[in-house]
Chains A and B, each alone.
Chain A
Amino acid sequence: MKAMHVLASTLTALLCAAITALGWTALQGVSEVFWTYHVIPNSPLLIVFRIQPLAGLFLCLLGVSGVLSAIYGIGYHNEYRTRRYGILLDLGILLFIVAMAAVLLAADVFTFMLGWEAMSVISFLLVIYDHRKPGNLQSGLVYAIMTQIGSAFLLVAFLVLYAYTRSLNFATFAAVAHTLPPDVQSVIFLCALIGFSTKAGIMPLHVWLPRAHPIAPSHVSSLMSGVMIKTALFGFLTVVILWFGGGATWWGLTVACLGGVSAITAAALAARATGIKQILAYSSIDNMGLIFLCTGVAMIEFSMRDTPLAMLALLAALWQTWNHGLFKTALFHGAGAILYATHTDSLNRLGGLARSMPKTSIAFSILLLSWSASPPFGGFSGEWMMFTALSTAAEHHLHGPMGILDVIALLALFFTAALTAWAALRVYGIGFLGQPRTVAARDAREVPRTMRIALWMGATLTLVSGLAGAFLIARLAKALTGIAGRVAPVPSALANGPLSPVTVPTAFVLIFAATVTAWTLIRLAQGKTSTRTVPTWTCGGERTPSMQYSGNGLSQPLERAWPLLATPLATQWLYRPAYAWVLRTATRFRKIQSGNVRSYLVYLFATIVLLLIVARVGGGVR
Chain B
Amino acid sequence: MISVWQVLLLMVMAPFVQGYVQWLKARIQGRIGPSPLKPWRDLRKQLAKEVVLSNAASWVSRLVPYLSLGLVLGAAACLPVLSGLPGPLLGSGSIFLFLSLLAFSRLSLLLLGLDSGSAFAGMGAGRDLLFSLLVEPTIFISLLAVGLPADATAFPGILRAAAANTSQNPAVASLALVAIAGVILVETGRLPVDNPDTHLELTMVHESFLLESSGRYLALLSFSAQLRQLLWYTVLFAACFPWGINESSTGAGFAIAILSFLIKVLFASSAVAVIEGVFAKWRVFAVPRYLTFMLALAVAAMLADAIL
Q: List A residues at the B interface (Cβ < 8 Å).
A: 351-352, 354-355, 358, 361-362, 369, 372-375, 380, 383-384, 387-388, 391, 394-395, 398-400, 403-404, 407, 410-411, 414-415, 417-419, 421-422, 424-425, 428-430, 432-435, 493, 496-497, 500, 502-504, 506-507, 510-515, 518-519, 522, 525-526, 529-538, 545, 547-549, 553-558, 560-561
Of the listed stretches B16-24, B49-57, B255-263, name the one at the interface; the rest are far from the partner chain: B49-57
B216:A526 contact, CB within 8 angstroms: yes
In the complex, chain A residues whose CB is within 8 Å of the CB of B117: 351-352, 433-435, 536, 545, 547-548
B55:A534 contact, CB within 8 angstroms: yes
Q: Which of A375, A395, A522 contacts B100 (CB 8 A)?
A: A375
A536:B118 contact, CB within 8 angstroms: yes
Q: Interface residue tally of chain B, by bracket?
A: 35 or more
A532:B132 contact, CB within 8 angstroms: no
Which residues from 16 to 58 on chain B have a C-beta closer than 8 Å to any C-beta of chain A?
47-48, 50-58
In the complex, chain B residues whose CB is within 8 Å of the CB of A374: 100, 103-104, 107
Nearest CB in chain A to that of B305: its residue: A398
In the complex, chain B residues whose CB is within 8 Å of the CB of A522: 47, 216, 220
A529→B97 CA distance, assembly (Å): 33
- Interface membership of B252, Cβ < 8 A: no
Sample of 9 A–B contacts (CB below 8 Å) = A374-B104, A428-B111, A497-B94, A510-B89, A515-B66, A533-B55, A534-B54, A536-B116, A536-B117
**Interface residues of A: mostly helix, strand, loop or mixed?**
helix
A559→B287 CA distance, assembly (Å): 15
A560:B285 contact, CB within 8 angstroms: yes
B70:A511 contact, CB within 8 angstroms: yes
- Interface membership of B163, Cβ < 8 A: no
- Interface membership of B96, Cβ < 8 A: yes
Nearest CB in chain A to that of B139: its residue: A414
Nearest CB in chain A to that of B7: its residue: A514
A503→B90 CA distance, assembly (Å): 6
B72 CB, nearest partner CB in chain A, Å: 9
B111:A429 contact, CB within 8 angstroms: yes
Q: Which of B115, B144, B285 contacts A394 (CB 8 A)?
A: B144
B126:A556 contact, CB within 8 angstroms: yes
In the complex, chain A residues whose CB is within 8 Å of the CB of B288: 561
A518→B72 CA distance, assembly (Å): 12
Q: Which of A503, A510, A549 contacts B114 (CB 8 A)?
A: A549
In the complex, chain A residues whose CB is within 8 Å of the CB of B215: 529
B234 CB, nearest partner CB in chain A, Å: 18
- Interface membership of B123, Cβ < 8 A: yes
In the complex, chain A residues whose CB is within 8 Å of the CB of B53: 531-534
In the complex, chain A residues whose CB is within 8 Å of the CB of B202: none
* Interface contacts beyond A407-B299, A425-B107: sample of 11 additional A-B pairs, CB < 8 Å, sorted by A: A369-B107, A418-B137, A421-B107, A503-B92, A506-B91, A510-B74, A510-B77, A536-B212, A538-B119, A545-B117, A555-B126
A234→B133 CA distance, assembly (Å): 32
In the complex, chain A residues whose CB is within 8 Å of the CB of B216: 522, 526, 529
In the complex, chain B residues whose CB is within 8 Å of the CB of A514: 69-70, 73-74
In the complex, chain B residues whose CB is within 8 Å of the CB of A555: 126
In the complex, chain A residues whose CB is within 8 Å of the CB of B91: 496, 500, 502-503, 506
In the complex, chain A residues whose CB is within 8 Å of the CB of B125: 425, 429, 549, 554
In the complex, chain B residues whose CB is within 8 Å of the CB of A432: 58
